[in-house]
Amino acid sequence: MSLLDGSIRRRDFLKGGAAATAAVAAMGLIGCAPNGGSEAGAKETDADGMNPHVVESDTAILGDEGSWVTVECWANCGGRCVNKAFVKDGVVLRQKTNDDQEDTLETPQQRSCPRGHSLRQHVFNANRLKYPMKRKSWQPGGGENAHGDLRGEEGWERISWEEALGYVAEELKRVYADYGPRSVVCMGTEWQVLNLLGGRVEWNSTESYGNWYLAPIQMGTTVGNGFPDALLINDRLDMLNADTIVLYGINPAWHNGGNPSYYYRLAKENGTEFVFVGPDYNVSAAMLDARWIRVRPGTDTAFLLAVAYEMLRLDESGESVVDWDFLHTYCVGFDAESMPEDAALDENFREYVLGTYDGQPKTPEWAAEICGTPIEDITWYAQKVGKQDNVTLLHSYAPSRYKGTIDLPQLFMTVACMGGHLGRPGNACGSVFNTESANGGPRLVKLGNPSKSATAPNPLERPEICKPEIWRSLDEGVYYNRGGYRKGPIDNNFLPQEEIRFDPKIIVNDFHNPLQATEDINRGIKVFKKMDMVVDVHYRYTLTSQYADILLPCTTPWEGNLDKNKGELDVATTSTMRLSRFQCSRDMILVTQPIIAPMYEAKNETWIFSELAKLLDLDPSELYPISDIQSYYDKIAGAEVIDVDGVTYKTLVTITQDDIDAWDVEGEPQEGVISLQDLLEQGMYIVPREQGDNLGYIGYKDFIDDPEANPRGSASGKMEIYCQAKADSINGIGYAQEELKPYPTYHPSTYENSFSNWEAKESGTYPFLMYQPHYLRRAHTNYDENVWTQEAFQNPVFISAEDAAAKGIETGDTVLVFNDAGKVLRQASVTNLIMPGGIAMPHGPRTYLDPETGIDFGGNENMLVDANTQDEFFPHMNGYNSCLVDFEKYDGEALSADCMREPVLWTEE
C-alpha cells in the first residue's frame, strides 16, 4: 500500500504506529487526533472503540437543537485551523475541529491545536473587558492630573462610552495642539485616525524574522506573504522526495499550527531522514527521530562556516560534495571566477572560508570552540548536505533572533547552493513559518481582498523608532530614525540615521500587548508612568491594559451578527480577521461566522474608531470607506480557486441576488463552484489533492530551468553569495561600528561575549544564555489564561542537567532567574535535551510583579530581555534570544502551578 493511497484514513495510518502515536500525545503535539470520527450529531460509538465526540450528556446535539458553526481562532500563532463551536441559543456548548469530511493522506482534515480547542475559555474568560473604564485617579489635562505614578497599581471606574471616547478625543486634541504629532506614540495597528490628525510616532522592527529580513530580495531569495525567504519551499507532497530534511531551529509541533507536523511525519514514514540543528532536542525533533546536531544558542554562523569549509575540504579530497556547476550558473560571489558586476570589493566567500583574508581558516576545530558542536558532527553534516542527495533545508527565524547572526541568512542560503539544493524535486531551501511550514507554493484557493481597512497613511516624516530601543527613546525624549526595515512591497528602506528630539505624552495601543511583549518591561512601566494618557483598545485585561488609563473594550471575532432579521449587521474585519487571508495553508480557506452577540458593552473596532473620528471633527468614511459587512462580502465574493490545470483561477462562490439583498451589500450575482450557503455551512473550502496532480510546487523551478528568462530579484538576477546591496544598505545607515562585508563573515556571538575573558574562558557576571521558545500553551501573550491549557503545559524554565546539578536544582524546584534588568521566578524542568550554558524560558506569560521585591512570579521573559539585545549592525532587529542571565535555587516560598493562581482582574472601586 502506498502511503499516498487516498483510500487510507489517517487514523488507520496512525494505528500502524501506536507507540509513536502515544509518544506524540505525551509530548503535546498540535494537530491532535480527533476523538472519534463519527458524524457530528450521530450517537453511535466509533467502530474502533475510540472516544466519540458526542456523549450522552450532549443532549442539545443529540436532540438536534443547535448547530456547529466554523468560528475564527484569531491569535497570531501562524495558523488558521478549523475550529467549530456547537451553539445553542447563543451559548457555546462544545468545540471540535474538522472531523466532518473524509480524512485522506492527500487531503487530510485541517485540525486545530489545544489552544483552539479551549477557545471558549478565552472568549468567556473572567478577564474580558466588559465596559469602558477609567483608571481611578486619572484626569485629563496632563502633568499632575494624570497621577501617573499610580498606573498599574490602582482600581478602575466604569464610565460610559461617551465619557471614554470624550476623554480620548479631548486629550488627543490638547496634545496635538500643544506638542504636535510626534508626542503621540502608537503601538497598535488600527489607530489610523491619528494619521488624519497629523500622524504619529511608531515602532518598527523585524520582530519575528530576526536577521532574515536583511535584504532577502537583494540576495535572490524572496519576501512571500510579508515573510522573508518564505513560500519558496516545495509543496508537502514533494517533501516525500527528499532523502534528508533538515529542520534548522524549527519546532513545528509547537508553533506551526495546523497540519505541518503531520506532513513531516508522512515524510518520515516514507523513509526520509531528519536532521535537527539547534541547542535543544525539541519535541518535533524527537517525534521525527531526527539526528541532533547541537549548536550553542546564537552560534550558527560559526557552525555553518565550518560546514562550508568541510564541504570544500571533502570535495577537494575527491568526495563529490560541492555542486560547482550550480555555484557558477546560478550564484555570484562564491569564488573569484563568479563575481558580480557591481562588486566593489575584490573578495569572495571561498577565500574567506579558507582564511585568505584574516588568516583564520574556518575549520571545524575553530568553530567547535564557539558552537560546541562535536567535530565529527560538523563533517557528517557537510557530507549530508552535499550534492549527492536530495536535501530539503528548512529554517525558522529563531536562530537569527540573536546578536552576531547578521550573516546567518546569507550563509544558510550559501550552504544550500553549495549542495545545489534548489528548484528540483526533494530539494528546497527556505523558511517555514505558519501553515506554509512543510507546504510551499502559491495558494490553491484564496479569499478576495477585504477592501475595508483603515488606510490613511502616516503623514509624519521619519516616524519610526527601532523597537529594541523604544522605551529608552520615550524615556529620554530622543530617538534615532533609520528609516523602516520594511515598507510596502519593498524591503529595507533604510535611511542614514538621524537624531530626532520629541516629547512623548500619549501612548495608544490595540491588537498588540506591547508592555508585555517588548524588551525591558521595567523600563516600559517607567515610561508608561510618565505619560499624560495611555489608551488600550482591547477585549481582555493585559499587562498593557493594567498600566493604561482608558480601556476601550472591543469584541472578539466570535461576536457579531450576520442576520438582518436579528438586528444590525455586525462582523469583525479588523487586523486579526485580515490575517485569515494568508495564514491558512495553501490548500484551504476559512469562512468563519460570529456566533454570539457582543458581550457586555464591548464594541466592534470600526465603531470605536468611527465614533472617535466624529469627536475629532473628522469624517469616519475617510477612515472606513466601506462597511464591515461589505468587506466581509467582498472577501467571499472575490474568492478564487485554482483549476485542475494548476494555472488558471476561477470564481469560487455562487452568489444570488437574494444573497446580496440579505446582507444589503453591493455586488453582482455570480457563478462559482460552491453556493454561499454551503460555504458558510461548511465554513471552509479545501482543495482536494492527488498524487501526480498539477497542483504541486517546486520552489525556484522557473529560475533553475531558465535563469536568463526568470532572473531572481537581485541586481545580478542570481543568488548573491556576494551581495553588494546587502552591505551597502546596512553600511549606509551609519549605525554599526564596523563595515559589513557583502559576503557572509563571522561576528562574535553572545556566547563569546558572555565571558569576561574569552581567551582565558573566564565567565562573565551573567554566564547563561536565555533564549525564548514560543510556547505551545499560548500564542505570544494571548490565550494564556485558559485553565485547561495551563494545566496541560506548565511553562517551566528548561535547564540542562549539568547546569542544574552544579547549582543543586532539581525538576520542580522554584528557580530565580535574574540579571540587571529584572528578576523572574519559574519552576525548573531539568533535562538532558538542552545544551549546558543555555536555558530556555518560554516566551509570553503575563507579568505578576511583586512590588516589594520586584520579582515577577508570572515568568515573563521580557523582565530580563532588555535593549542590550539590539543587533550591532541591523538596529531594527530584535535579538531577543541574546539574553544573558544567571539563576539560582529560590529560597523563598515555592511557586505554585500557574493554573492554581488567581487571575489578575480589573476591579471597580
Ligand X SMILES: Nc1nc2c(c(=O)[nH]1)N[C@H]1C(S)=C(S)[C@@H](COP(=O)(O)OP(=O)(O)OC[C@H]3O[C@@H](n4cnc5c(=O)[nH]c(N)nc54)[C@H](O)[C@@H]3O)O[C@H]1N2
Q: Which chain residues interact with ligand X by CB under 6 A?
A: 74, 76-78, 207-208, 248-251, 254-255, 277-280, 282, 295, 297-298, 300, 396-399, 402, 510-514, 517, 537-538, 540, 542, 554, 574-576, 605, 771-776, 778-782, 843-844, 861-862, 865, 880-881
Quickly tell me which residue has 571545524 as its cell. 364
Instruction: Give the binding range for ligand SF4 (CB under 6 A) out of 80-88, 175-183, 626-634, 862-870.
Output: 80-88
C-alpha cell at 592: 468563519
Binding partner selected for residue 112 from ligand SF4, ligand X, Mo ion, none, CB under the kind-specific 5 to 8 Å limit: ligand SF4
Binding partner selected for residue 80 from ligand SF4, ligand X, Mo ion, none, CB under the kind-specific 5 to 8 Å limit: ligand SF4
183 binds ligand SF4 (CB under 6 A): no
Q: How remote is the C-alpha of 90 from its chain's centroid?
A: 32
* Strands of the 445-446 sheet, one edge to the other: 445-446, 640-642, 649-651
Phi, psi angle pair for 581, to nearest 5°: -60, -40
779 binds ligand SF4 (CB under 6 A): yes
780 binds ligand SF4 (CB under 6 A): no
Q: Which is nearer to ligand SF4, 78 or 430 (CB)?
A: 78
Binding partner selected for residue 775 from ligand SF4, ligand X, Mo ion, none, CB under the kind-specific 5 to 8 Å limit: ligand X
Instruction: Give the binding range for Mo ion (CB under 5 A) out of 206-214, 257-265, 343-351, 745-753.
Output: 206-214
83 binds ligand SF4 (CB under 6 A): yes
- Least distance from C-beta 196 to ligand X, angstroms? 19
Q: Which is nearer to ligand SF4, 314 or 787 (CB)?
A: 787
80 binds ligand SF4 (CB under 6 A): yes
C-alpha cell at 226: 510579508
Neighbouring CB atoms inside 10 A of 449's CB total: 13
- Residue among 577, 575, 729, 589 nearest 652 (CA): 589
**Residue whose Cβ sits closest to Mo ion:** 208
> Do 60 and 86 contact (CB within 8 A), yes or no?
yes
Q: Which is nearer to ligand X, 61 or 884 (CB)?
A: 884
- Least distance from C-beta 119 to ligand SF4, angstroms? 7
- Least distance from C-beta 399 to ligand X, angstroms? 3
> Do 472 and 197 contact (CB within 8 A), yes or no?
no
* Dihedral angle over CA of 533, 537, 540, 541, nearest 10: 0
- Least distance from C-beta 841 to ligand SF4, angstroms? 21
Binding partner selected for residue 81 from ligand X, Mo ion, ligand SF4, none, CB under the kind-specific 5 to 8 Å limit: ligand SF4
Strand 391-395 and strand 244-248: the pairing is parallel
> Do 155 and 907 contact (CB within 8 A), yes or no?
yes
| CA 76/CA 583 separation, integer angstroms | 9
- Least distance from C-beta 524 to ligand X, angstroms? 12
Q: Which is nearer to ligand SF4, 103 or 464 (CB)?
A: 103
Question: Which listed residue (98, 118, 208, 282) binds Mo ion by CB under 5 A?
Answer: 208
Residue 266 Ramachandran class (φ > 0 left, ψ -120 to 50 alpha, else beta) = alpha
- Least distance from C-beta 688 to ligand SF4, angstroms? 21
> Do 263 and 245 contact (CB within 8 A), yes or no?
no
- Least distance from C-beta 139 to ligand SF4, angstroms? 40
Q: Which is nearer to ligand SF4, 244 or 574 (CB)?
A: 574
| CA 216/CA 492 separation, integer angstroms | 9
In sequence order, what are the residues at sequence separation of 6 or more whose Cβ sits closer than 8 angstroms to the Cβ of residue 24? 287
Q: Which is nearer to ligand X, 23 or 687 (CB)?
A: 23
Residues 24-43 contacting ligand SF4, CB under 6 A:
30
Q: What is the 3-state secondary structure (H, E, C) of 484-524?
A: EEEECCEEEEEEEEEEEECCCCEEEEECCCHHHHCCCHHHH
| CA 302/CA 322 separation, integer angstroms | 19
Element (H, E) at 579: helix 575-583
Question: Which listed residue (84, 94, 115, 350) binds ligand SF4 by CB under 6 A?
Answer: 115
Instruction: Give the binding range for Mo ion (CB under 5 A) out of 43-51, 202-210, 284-292, 794-802.
Output: 202-210
557 binds ligand SF4 (CB under 6 A): no
Instruction: Give the binding range for ligand SF4 (CB under 6 A) out of 73-81, 142-150, 412-420, 855-863.
Output: 73-81
Q: Which is nearer to ligand SF4, 572 or 863 (CB)?
A: 572
Question: Which listed residue (24, 29, 69, 73) binds ligand SF4 by CB under 6 A?
Answer: 73
Concatenated DSSP letters for 585-650?
Answer: -TTEEE-----BPPPTT-B-HHHHHHHHHHHTT--HHHH-SS-HHHHHHHHHHT-EEE-TTSS-EE
Binding site for ligand SF4 (CB under 6 A): 30, 73, 75, 77, 79-81, 83, 112-113, 115-116, 257-258, 779
